[in-house]
Structure 1
Amino acid sequence: MLSGTDLGSILGVFGALWLIYQWLVPGTFLSKLGSPERQLPPGPRGLPIVGNMFQFTKARDAGLWAPFLASLLQYGPMTTLHMGSQTWVVLNDPRVVNDIINKHGKITHERPEMPVAGTLVSHGLRTVIRPTAGWTEGRRVMHHLLSGSVLRVYGNWQEIASLQMLAAYLREPTRWYAHHYRYSIAVLYRLVMGEHLDKTQTQLDEYQQVTMEFTWSLLRSFVDYFPQCDRWVPTRLQWWRPGWAQMGDRHHRVLQAWWDPIRTAVRNGTAKPGFVRDTLLHPAMRYKGGEEEAMYLATSVIAAGSDNTRMTLNTFLMAMISHPETMARARKDMDALCVGPDGALRLPGMADWEQLPYLAAMVKEVLRWRPTTPITPQHQLTEDLEYAGYRFPKGTCFVINGIALSQQCEEPDRFDPSRWMDGNEGNITHGLWAFGGGRRICVGYRVAQQALYIAMARIIYCFDLVSEGPVNTRKLNHFSLHQQPFPVKVTVRSPQHEQLIQQEVATTGNVFPPM
């Protein structure tokens, strides 16, 4: 039974939230006490206290997130959503995104408080949503891992890892989606841990489950919309805490199991060359974080990079079976390069990058056509900002609307790589916001670009892809571990292509060259 003090605390929380809502939402009593400068860009009408929170979560949970985010275009280049006690300004226009996220990146790089996804589920240490104070040091270290100077080395490893994927396509064509994940995680594991990926399928499933649960946890709890609750409600009355804390502890155990072997090897002097040994834990780097921070940093690089590549490759297969003419064009370009005068075959690789501009454009079009990250985590203002006639107060959250941005072209539902053939098809961030922007841009975008290019080129070159049933290209289930997200038949293109794969695997497919 609640005591009078407990009941007073709860009523005080909701009273404070009501006052916050009245102050923030245009048209309410307290908001009218401000000057016209306080007015924000237009947006859909919300409910008392919760604002637009339920509209957002209902659309997301019903699989209608994309239509909801696309509908925000009707309000103009910026749309205001009142999400609990937070004010979101959703950015729907490329120019506005560039102005606010890039040009004003110095004051739009902070992350808001996330008591559930950030603290309970991530122990306050997952890089992508850490506040700036804890994020800066990890960012400094990651630049050494993902700098352009080592891209050629990474490209070599990606080519070798792709051979294992092609061989798996031959053995188990119905599990293509699982092969995408093993491929995407294999290179990152090698880069970070220094070892060849030797995990069982059960271990990979467990790690993938952790990554997907973290993604799922983002903005699932009302507490992340009302972070004040974490401070104002006594801990013993926080009924939401046990379940989320258990998830976070389970995630920690899985990540620890992947981290302990490399940490032990570094201590014993037996670790192989890799990010952990040569950068993160190297004395010359003078990393200021603790071991827990190092563990989350290393495992977050593997998790984030592998999962986004996996999802994008799944989307790529959907694009190929729904728009086969694009696959035929890309294959024609590769045949011209990779089939010798005597009919001898070779696999396309990084050396062919500049001679395959249509394929480079295809990588960008896959990311545009069906964004795997419909919105970015919030960029929170660290000081007031005046822009486009509005005055955004400190604490406003800016969100990049990937769905709206992806539709600002002719026939946005049509998969057409040629729309990127403008001389910048090799620059994956030119005109594309799939990796975020500003100071929080994903530092691994070049590595991801190479991984996608190599996998897509070799799948197109070696395999035929045909739909085996109706495919809803507007909806792709990325959260399935053990079944096809959509029906597709994968067959090797010819006996010669099968022989080529087997020969390449036999000679180089099981060997990673030294760093």
Structure 2
Amino acid sequence: MPVSSGLVSRDRRSLILPQEQWMERRRVMHGLLSGTALKQYGAWQEEESTKMMAEYVFHPQRWYRHHYRYANSVIVRIALGEQPLKSTKELEEMQNAVTFFVGSIGRSVVDWFPDLAKLPWFLQVWRPYWARLGQWNYDLYAKWYNPVKAKVENGTAPPSFVRDFLMHPDTRFKGDCDDLMYVAMQLIEAGSDTTREALNIMTMAALEYPEVFAKARAEVDRVCGVGKDARLPTLEDMDALGYICAMCKEVLRWRPIFPLTPDHTASQDIEFEGYYFPAGTGFTINGPAVCGECEEPERFMPERWLDGHEQDIAHGLWQFGGGRRICVGYRLAQRSLFINIARLVQCVDYKPNGPYNAEILNLEAVGEPFPVRATLRGEQYKAMIVEEAKKVGVLEEARFNRDKLQ
């Protein structure tokens, strides 16, 4: 893709790189999936989730900002090792980086007919626009990444994917400095925006299907207690909260975030149902069509996933891609969705706060994507959240986070 991969991404975003360039980046990203890493990251996910719940207590009207703050904070801690002390403008810039990049995929006819990129430069009238976007993207990445890179080099960096895997000498990463930056920042880019969007979809489902959320709440109450005896769910509750796990999958199926996946290329000749596809053929997954291949596809019905595989979010679901190029962070994504959906179902009531259209989800919105009135379930649940936030040391940050969210 000469535009989205070449000009916009400088041929460094692994999502749309050909196999030979993709493999080295994929190899180093497997550090995200080690047992030790998932345990450390899980502790951060639970802490940031507790902070998000406390933000709901103090500023419920900013529910959509809490979703993004959580998602961004978790993935920045995982990738860079630090809680992001970023302004709203800086967070919006990172959100825009995702929007602009995803919006560039296939948007130009050159990505569909790449031989056009072989024309003399003076005939490539599209180059200046996309090259400026690529430079803006590069500068934004550098602003986030370079301070952490310097700390790793001088030995003052905290634990992180960058320090412990990407830049660790034992990893022997074969890319250059810019490759390192793009690997780290594409994790932040992907991890913060998709989790935010999925939690917003969950909120829409809560408005449309309150009976589903009543059933989910009953499951959480059975496992985690009710009223003064309640506790917040943890990641250790995943096996016991199968309906919540099924909800995570249904959120991604009901309103697929990615209408189309980038091409997967056949590495060998394929014969399928009477058709012949030679090696090199590109295949794109049509997200809405695939997600609609079920009974009553417009209904939000987690029960469809209660098949013994509800704890495996990638089983039967194509929203993370598939094959060897499946999203490397899908287990992290599942854990973030699980812990937050379980806690929001337990503690928050959602009602419409004005007219909205459930068919039109403005997931890229910086402001409120649809009108919602979020209220805490009761004083006992507020007290439980406040006590837990105090215990893990995030209460005051949540209480006085309003200015950062303006």
In which range does the TM-score fall when normalised by the shorter chain?
Answer: over 0.9
Give the aligned partner of residue 370 of structure 1: 255
Once the two structures are overlaid, the 10-residue window that deviates more, 383-392 or 285-294, is 383-392
Are residues 343 and 169 of structure 1, via their aligned partners in 2, closer, same or farther at CA, if it must alter by over 3 Å?
Answer: closer
Residue by residue, what CA displacement relative to the aligned partner does 1:343-397 show, whole Å, maximum 9, x if unpaired? 3331111121111111111111111111111221111234432222222133321
1:240 aligns with 2:115: no
- Return the match for 1:506 from 376, 387, 390: 390
Once the two structures are overlaid, the 10-residue window that deviates more, 196-205 or 280-289, is 196-205
Give the aligned partner of residue 205 of structure 2: 319
Identity, % of aligned positions:
48
Q: Distance in 1 between matches of 2:50 and 2:391?
A: 10
Residue by residue, what CA displacement relative to the aligned partner does 1:37-61 show, whole Å, maximum 9, x if unpaired? xxxxxxxxxxxxxxxxxxxxxxxxx
Equivalent pairs, count: 395
Give the aligned partner of residue 5 of structure 1: none
Give the aligned partner of residue 133 of structure 1: 20
- Return the match for 2:240 from 355, 371, 391: 355
SS in 1 for 2:284: strand
One-letter code aligned to 1:472 = N
1:127 shift after superposition: 1.5
Are residues 448 and 509 of structure 1, via their aligned partners in 2, closer, same or farther at CA, if it must alter by over 3 Å?
Answer: farther
Q: Distance in 2 between matches of 1:131 and 1:412?
A: 34
1:290 aligns with 2:176: yes
Residue by residue, what CA displacement relative to the aligned partner does 1:6-44 show, whole Å, maximum 9, x if unpaired? xxxxxxxxxxxxxxxxxxxxxxxxxxxxxxxxxxxxxxx
Give the aligned partner of residue 101 of structure 2: 214
Give the aligned partner of residue 466 of structure 1: 351
Once the two structures are overlaid, the 10-residue window that deviates more, 246-255 or 426-435, is 426-435
The alignment's C-alpha RMSD in Å is: 1.5
- Return the match for 2:223 from 318, 337, 340: 337
1:192 aligns with 2:76: no
1:171 shift after superposition: 2.8
Q: Is the 8 A contact 1:318 1:473 kept in 2?
A: yes
Residue by residue, what CA displacement relative to the aligned partner does 1:181-223 show, whole Å, maximum 9, x if unpaired? 1111111111111112222222111111111111111111111
Q: Is the 8 A contact 1:360 1:453 kept in 2?
A: yes
Q: Is the 8 A contact 2:32 2:38 kept in 1?
A: no
Give the aligned partner of residue 455 of structure 1: 340
Give the aligned partner of residue 225 of structure 1: 112
1:509 shift after superposition: 4.2
Give the aligned partner of residue 401 of structure 2: none
Q: Distance in 2 between matches of 1:501 and 1:343?
A: 12
1:242 shift after superposition: 0.4
Q: Is the 8 A contact 2:4 2:104 kept in 1?
A: yes
1:495 aligns with 2:379: yes
1:148 shift after superposition: 4.5
1:165 aligns with 2:44: no
1:265 aligns with 2:151: yes
- Return the match for 1:307 from 153, 175, 193: 193
1:319 shift after superposition: 0.6
Q: What TM-score do the two structures reach when normalised by structure 1?
A: 0.74
SS in 1 for 2:298: coil
Q: Where in structure 2 are there 5+ consecutive unaligned residues? A: 396-406
Q: Distance in 2 between matches of 1:364 and 1:214?
A: 25
Q: Is the 8 A contact 1:155 1:350 kept in 2?
A: yes
Are residues 149 and 273 of structure 1, via their aligned partners in 2, closer, same or farther at CA, if it must alter by over 3 Å?
Answer: closer
Q: Where in structure 1 are there 5+ consecutive unaligned residues? A: 1-113
Flag as ranges the 4+ runs of structure 1 deviating above 6 A.
none
SS in 2 for 1:422: coil
Q: What TM-score do the two structures reach when normalised by structure 2?
A: 0.94
Give the aligned partner of residue 3 of structure 2: 116
- Return the match for 1:250 from 136, 145, 149: 136
1:471 shift after superposition: 3.0
